[in-house]
Amino acid sequence: MATKSKKKAKTELENNESPTDEAPVMMPTEEEVPEPLIEDLPGVGPATAEKLREAGFDDLLALAVMSPGDLADQAELGEAVATKIIGGAKKMANIGGFVSGGALLERRREVLKLTSKVESIDDLLGGGFETQALVEVYGAFGSGKTQIGHQLAVNCTLPLEEGGFDGDVFYIDTEDTFRPERITQMARGHGLDPEQVLSRIHVARAYNSAHQMLLVDEIKRMSKGLNVKMIIVDSLTSHFRAEFIGRGMLANRQQKLNRHLKDLKQLADVNNALVLVTNQVHSKPDAMWGDPTKPVGGHVLAHASTFRLYLRKAKGGRRIARLVDSPNLPDGECVYQVTQEGLRD
Ligand code: GTP
Ligand code: MG
């Protein structure tokens, strides 16, 4: 790892517009210029910059939103140095602070929508699964959460004009239920080359909740040179639920989960990507009316998800997806099917 990133840093140096003669002559394109580099931060020399990059921090915004303790841990720096770096990043990064509604609308214009290729689901979601959002899919076992994850992973690789993101997918698998064979079937269902699709889906098995959280940092590290457009965590809650048992652990669990969700949301914002998490349900026997099935994760997750979809099995192999919570869409339901080729109307 260290050697790899050293090599990376070296090529960066070699490729870098040397601040001497040629640089001013080159007409920089819009994409290359405006953002200052992490080397421009006070107190960041090449060695520290390398440490930061190795820990997955390669732009100022990613640094500006860290807490000193976490940055010190993740990048193996002293806390005083981390504080200084964060302070510098806050000043230099284009954080924006408060912006006008108009500017927000501008940012919202960047939002892309990923098709499920199921008309009823896309309609329910106002056109598809949005980037810059965290979508939670919950339901009982066998309700089809993992199927949605697989299908959207495939669809994410579709070109933009077909409703995809032409993007790379990171898939954190906590239950060992990712199946490349299923991706192959679904890719064929869209007439795509399965090998090509599989090459764009990067899968990691998470062995426990701590590992699961670390894998988000790993995504930051690995995302260079990739067009990261979707991050899937299937399931978000199973490890947390299994490891933090009983009321005494609840606060700790929720704190960790909150941190994890913030990290994921940050990935969604920085990459203009979609984060999809699946979640289990538990039965609330004390519910007097309505459906006693409730998603795990409590208020922390309820607040973090931008959209919540509740899946149920229905007669004849059909599935029902219910939009439970959305900032700008009415609640509603739709029906679809899981077939060998994937999700269909
Ligand atoms: P848990 O992870 O156990 O909580 O369940 P889940 O919600 O992730 O369920 P999953 O997405 O794994 O759905 C499994 C169901 O999808 C199966 O019971 C089948 O009904 C359906 N399914 C999976 N693969 C196929 C397939 O190739 N063809 C068809 N027709 N259905 C499939
Ligand atoms: Mg599953």
* pLDDT in the model for residue 291: 75
Angle CA(22)–CA(23)–CA(25) in degrees, nearest 5?
70
Nearest ligand to the CA of 150 is 1
Is it the case that residue 333 has pLDDT exceeding 80?
A: yes
Mean pLDDT of 66-88: 92
* pLDDT in the model for residue 15: 43
Question: Which residues are paired to 275 by β-bridges?
Answer: 134, 231
* pLDDT in the model for residue 250: 86
CA 102–ligand 1 middle distance (angstroms): 43
What domains lie within the chain, and their CATH numbers? Answer: 30-92 (1.10.150.20), 106-344 (3.40.50.300)
Residue 258, classified by CB atoms within 10 Å of its CB into exposed (0-12), middle (13-18) or buried (19+), is middle
Across 9-13, 167-171, 224-228, the highest mean pLDDT is recorded for 167-171
Q: Is 141 in the pocket of ligand 1 (CB under 6 A)?
A: yes
Is it the case that residue 148 has pLDDT exceeding 90?
A: yes
Percent of residues, the chain, with pLDDT higher than 70: 88
Q: Is 143 in the pocket of ligand 1 (CB under 6 A)?
A: yes
Residue 162: pLDDT band (50, 70, 90) is very high
* pLDDT in the model for residue 43: 86
Q: Is 157 in the pocket of ligand 1 (CB under 6 A)?
A: no
Angstrom distance (rounded) from CA 256 to CA 240: 9
Q: Please name which of 164, 219, 160 lies closest in space to residue 187, comparing C-alpha atoms.
A: 164
* Look-up of token digits 């060992």: 176
* pLDDT in the model for residue 33: 46
Residue 95: pLDDT band (50, 70, 90) is low
Residue 287: pLDDT band (50, 70, 90) is low
Angstrom distance (rounded) from CA 300 to CA 341: 35
Q: Is 158 helix (H, G, I), strand (E, B) or coil?
A: coil
Please give the structure tokens belonging to residue 121.
Answer: 């689901």
Angle CA(153)–CA(159)–CA(165) in degrees, nearest 5?
50
Is it the case that residue 74 has pLDDT exceeding 80?
A: yes
Angstrom distance (rounded) from CA 280 to CA 235: 8
Is it the case that residue 332 has pLDDT exceeding 90?
A: yes
Model's pTM, two decimal places?
A: 0.77
Q: Is 176 in the pocket of ligand 1 (CB under 6 A)?
A: no
Mean of pLDDT over the chain: 87
pLDDT: which is higher, 94 or 96 = 94
